Every structure is written in C-alpha cells, then in structure tokens.
Amino acid sequence: MASENVEDYLKSIYTLQSKEGRVTTSSLSERLRVSAASVSEMIKKLADEGSVHHTPYKGVALTEEGKTRAIRIVRRHRLWEVFLVEVLKYEWDEIHEEAERLEHITSDKLEERLDAALGYPTKDPHGDVIPTREGKVVQFGQASLASLKVGEQCVVSRVSDSSPDVLKYASKLGITLRKKIHIREKLEFDGSLRVQVEGREHFISGKLAQHIFVEPVADEKRRRSKSFKRVRTISRGKSS
Amino acid sequence: MASENVEDYLKSIYTLQSKEGRVTTSSLSERLRVSAASVSEMIKKLADEGSVHHTPYKGVALTEEGKTRAIRIVRRHRLWEVFLVEVLKYEWDEIHEEAERLEHITSDKLEERLDAALGYPTKDPHGDVIPTREGKVVQFGQASLASLKVGEQCVVSRVSDSSPDVLKYASKLGITLRKKIHIREKLEFDGSLRVQVEGREHFISGKLAQHIFVEPVADEKRRRSKSFKRVRTISRGKSS
DNA sequence: TGATTGATTTAGGCTAGCCTAAATATAAGA
DNA sequence: TCTTATATTTAGGCTAGCCTAAATCAATCA
Ligand SMILES: [Mn+2]
Ligand SMILES: [Mn+2]
Ligand SMILES: [Mn+2]
Ligand SMILES: [Mn+2]
C-alpha cells in the first residue's frame, strides 16, 4: 500500500471533491496543514502515478483508480470509528484522530475481520455511510436541520464529524443519531432555532444547525426503513 | 511518541537483551533486516537521546528510560495480539505482523480501553506475559519441552512466536496453550521426541521442542493456580 | 608480540516529505 | 487592454532512515 501521507492526500481530495466539487492546491494545503508548495509537489507525484488528473493552476481530480483507493481508506476509517464506539466505548467526539491513524495500517484481512466482528455496519457513529468493499457509497438524501421550518419534526440521521466540539456539544443537548427533533421557533435573520429534543428545549445557532442532518420523522407505525429515501448511489465511476 | 522505527529498535534491543544478554550491532542488523551501518547510525541517535548506553565496538544496553519505553510497546503488541485472536478470530500464527504495526499507533487511551475491553488479560495468545501499564513483567519459570525426560507429563504454557510456521505446525499437532503432553520416547542423540497430545502421538524434532515451553502438569485436584511457580519478577530497574 | 580477520563505524549518497523564498500564471478591476 | 492581487509552481534546503564502500578497531592465532 501507499504511504500514510499519500493516503491522506487521496482521502482529502475525495472529501473535498464530494463537498466542494473543485479541489485546489490551497484547499488541500489548508485541510492537510501543509504548505501549498508541498501540496504542489505531492500533486505532481500523484498525477505521475495516475491517481489524479492535474490541470496546472486549475485544480485536481481523482482518477478512477485514485477514487477507488480513497474510498477504501474512507471505509477503513469508518469501520474503525464503529469499533471504537461500539467495542471500546469511546464517545463519538473522541474517535477521529485514532481512526485517522488506524486506517493506514489496515490490511485487507484486518478490514474484513473487523467488518465481520462489527456485524457489517452500514453507518459510522456520525451517521456517515460506510462504503462497501466494492467501493459503493450509498448516500441518502439528507437535509440540514437549518433547512427546516417552524413546526416541522425530523430525526437526526447524521452529524458532521468535522469538529469534535460540535459533536460534544450536540450530544450534550441530546442531539444524537435517531433522536427526534421538533422545531419550535426559527429566527429567520440569523437562522437560529429553538428546538425540542427528548422533552428538553434548546436554542441552537444557525451555524450549528448546518452541521446536523435529518430525515423526515419516521411514520411511527409502518415502514421504519424506507422513509423517503431518495437514494443516491455514488458508485465508483460517477463523480459525486 | 517516537517514530515507528525508533520504537522497533527499542523493542528489538529489549528482546535481544532479555534473550541473549548482549546486544550487538550485527544482531540488531539481522533482526531488523537493516544494514549494520544503519544500525550504527540509529544507535548513536538512541544514545544521544538517552534511550541506550553505547560502548563503541562493544554493544548497547537500554537505559531505564529506554527499557520503560520498550516494555510499553511490548505491552501494546501483546494486547493487540489478544484482540486479534479473541475478537477478530485470527489464528495465533497470523497476528504478528498486524500487531507489529498496530503497536505504534496506540495512544494511552486506546491502550487502556483495549485492555479493559479484553478483560485485562495477562498473557498473549502465545503464552507470553503482557507487561502491566506500570511496566512490570511477571515471568514464570518455564522449561522448554526439550528439557523433559521420558515419562514426564507437562502442560503447554507458551510457544515461541518467532516463526509463524512453528506456530501453525504446533497447532496442527494439537499443541496449543494448556494442552497436556506426555513424553513417550526421547532420542538423546538428536533430542527428538515422541509425544502424546490429546490421545494422538507425534514425533517432533528437538528443534521444535525448543520452541515449546511447559509447566509441570497441574495437580488436577487442587491448586490449579499455584503449581510450582518459581515466580520471577522482571521489573523495571532490574535487568532480566 | 604482531598479523589477520571479522565486526563496527564513518563517509558519501539517495528518497520521501516537509519548508521558505522566489518566480510565474491567472483572474479581476481600472 | 493593462495592471495588480492572489494562487500556484519552482528552486533550493532540511531531516529521518536507508544503502554501499571505505576506514578503523578489537580479538584471536601464529
Ligand atoms: Mn489518516
Ligand atoms: Mn465519521
Ligand atoms: Mn512494530
Ligand atoms: Mn506474542
């Protein structure tokens, strides 16, 4: 396998690509906390070995092969996150850094055994989908809590894992996966919300709301599995 | 923490020191599969940072600090080995390389949680003692199977983990931890043995017998825990 | 004791990744 | 269109570890 550094570059390119579309030298520089010059060098290397397409001064995009490799690392990262929470009883805000290291030393066999021991999970502790071994990423349409209106109800399906502080604060408010949220009030000028979770009411900022993703509240009675899943399959080969 | 390379040097020095007493440049070179010149360089570095004492042209020995660090890595290695066998259902001959990588990315917290999740094991899957977090290594007096005489009985307490092939072969014969072995015949000129394990008889070479460590057969009825334990405590501060 | 030989160390080089400073290309504004 | 600001790339250097070849030490044997 590639070095830890190369793997983290690929993963970052993949994530930025999914989230922002364009991946620039400076976005990678910021994300990986490495100088732009170093990124530029690494990009050249990745392009040479066929993991990315590079248009100088324009940006970078994963090749098929690069994407496959990136998704594989994402899969390992998320499997380890499940392990840390389910088996080792970590909190969801404590797992990122550990998984960031574990993902690089995971052999195919280890990945397989871990997956099996965990019962073939499909989501990580933040609600992110775990890619299959074949590299398929099934993403459900999710709305951010910030997009809901007063009076609506929803269920938490994902919380952005980009900041441990956000995660810690969310769980302090009781906002964890599968919790039901009622929107009691919404201030349009700043997007902040008054919400009810498990009987308690909280004010949350628009900023925080953008990190919380939800699905329409399940129909209580039937179809607890197929509620409004506008399934979007991000498979290898299609750029997301 | 130190780099993976430094950690593996420390661990190898520790192991060689326990096993052979003297640790030379060439023994490290052989064990780590690195040129003698490279070892020489690294030794200088380790001596500079206070992890080893170095007498040029003579050899190297861990300082207190170096020994503490080495034992810590051994502890992590063996905890991961238990995890791989107990949780991920690996065979005992498949775990070394995985643990060799996992040991280096294990934070204090991860070590602690893993230990707890495994139920604070004291031995690894090969029968080696897992050092405590304080660095204490309790080693029981063990005899190699090669030292027994015809007619004697014993129980397998450890199998050298130095070769996956030995481990695989041993388990194929049914020679695994806690199995009872009867010595049926011994050829003095080459040390080979005819033994009985679980009702089956096997011939094993003297070479193989040297990799199998045993304790006198437990008294069946009482004292299943304190059978002839000439306990030897190898604590930090005492050279083993 | 003195020569020989094997082990060890030193010298000189290489690669992966990182950095800062300098050069250059692109895009936006006058 | 021309200038300027910003992003990107290139140049030149550094460190950790590795290597081979050359130099040096120490232990043994004649
Ligand atoms: Mn990582
Ligand atoms: Mn996650
Ligand atoms: Mn190792
Ligand atoms: Mn072991």
Nucleotides of C under 7 A from a protein CB: 7-12, 16-22, 25-27
* pLDDT tens figures, A105-139: 999 999 999 999 999 999 999 999 999 999 988 87
Interface probe for A, chosen from B110, B111, B118 (most Cβ of A below 10 Å), is B110
B1 touches chain A (CB under 8 A): no
Interface probe for A, chosen from B3, B80, B97, B101 (most Cβ of A below 10 Å), is B101
- Centre a 10 Å sphere on the Cβ of residue B190 and count the other Cβ atoms it contains: 10
Closest CB to B87 among A94, A109, A117? A117
The chain-wide mean pLDDT, for chain B, equals 89
What pLDDT is recorded for position A240? 28
Q: Which chain B positions have a beta carbon within 8 Å of A88's beta carbon?
A: 110, 113-114, 116-117
Q: State the amino acid at position A213 in one-letter form.
A: F
**Which nucleotide is nearest, taking the CA of residue B33 and each C1'?**
D18
**Which nucleotide is nearest, taking the CA of residue A60 and each C1'?**
D8
Contacts with A181 (C-beta within 8 Å, 6 or more apart), sequence order:
A145, A153, A154, A155, A156, A175, A195, A196, A197, A214
Q: How far apart are CA B83 and CA B30, in angstroms?
A: 29
A26 CA – D5 C1', rounded, Å: 16
pLDDT tier for residue A223 given thresholds of 50, 70 and 90: very low
* pLDDT tens figures, A5-18: 999 999 999 999 99
| Nearest C-alpha neighbor of A32 from the set A92, A100, A124 | A100
- Closest CA of chain B from A140, distance in Å: 30
User: Residue B233: is its pLDDT beyond 70?
Assistant: no
- Closest CA of chain B from A97, distance in Å: 10
* pLDDT tens figures, B48-86: 999 999 999 999 999 999 999 999 999 999 999 999 999
Pairing status of strand B153-159 against strand B52-55:
unpaired
- Closest CA of chain A from B160, distance in Å: 23
What pLDDT is recorded for position A190? 93
| Nearest C-alpha neighbor of B90 from the set B103, B101, B99 | B99
As a whole number, mean pLDDT of residues B148-166 equals 93
By the 8 A CB rule, do B75 and B114 touch?
A: no
What secondary structure does DSSP assign to chain A, as a single string? ---HHHHHHHHHHHHHHHHHS-B-HHHHHHHHT--HHHHHHHHHHHHHTTSEEEETTTEEEE-HHHHHHHHHHHHHHHHHHHHHHHTT---TTS-HHHHHHHGGG--HHHHHHHHHHTT--SB-TTSPBPPPTT--EEEE--EEGGG--TT-EEEEEEE--S-HHHHHHHHHTT--TT-EEEEEEE-TTT--EEEEETTEEEEE-HHHHTTEEEEEPP-TTS-SS-TT--EEEE-TTS--
What pLDDT is recorded for position A219? 58
B102 touches chain A (CB under 8 A): yes
Contacts with B134 (C-beta within 8 Å, 6 or more apart), sequence order:
B236
B37 CA – C9 C1', rounded, Å: 7
Closest CB to B105 among A102, A110, A117? A102
As a whole number, mean pLDDT of residues A45-53 equals 96
- Closest CA of chain B from A117, distance in Å: 6
Q: How far apart are CA A143 and CA B134, in angstroms?
A: 50
Q: Could you tell me the two tokens for A81? A: 């996150």
**Of all residues in chain A, what percent carry a pLDDT higher than 90?**
84
A4 touches chain B (CB under 8 A): no
Closest CB to A98 among B104, B107, B116? B107
pLDDT tier for residue B101 given thresholds of 50, 70 and 90: very high
Hey, what domains does chain B have and what are their CATH numbers? 3-62 (1.10.10.10), 143-218 (2.30.30.90)
Which segment of A138-142, A222-226, B173-177, B205-209 scores lowest on mean pLDDT? Answer: A222-226
pLDDT tier for residue A224 given thresholds of 50, 70 and 90: very low
A40 CA – C17 C1', rounded, Å: 12
Q: How far apart are CA B126 and CA B95, in angstroms?
A: 10
What pLDDT is recorded for position A77? 98
* pLDDT tens figures, A169-216: 999 999 999 999 999 999 999 999 999 999 999 999 999 999 999 998
Query: How much distance in Å is there from the Cα of A104 to the middle of ligand 3?
Result: 14
pLDDT tier for residue B220 given thresholds of 50, 70 and 90: low
Q: Which chain B positions have a beta carbon within 8 Å of A98's beta carbon?
A: 107, 109-110
This model's pTM is above 0.75: yes
Q: How far apart are CA A78 and CA B83, in angstroms?
A: 19
User: Residue A19: is its pLDDT beyond 60?
Assistant: yes
What pLDDT is recorded for position B218? 64
Please indicate whether, in this complex, the C-beta atoms of A89 and B114 are within 8 angstroms of each other: no
Please indicate whether, in this complex, the C-beta atoms of A105 and B110 are within 8 angstroms of each other: no
* pLDDT tens figures, B177-203: 999 999 999 999 999 999 999 999 999
Region label for A21, one of left (φ > 0), alpha (ψ between -120 and 50) or beta (otherwise): left
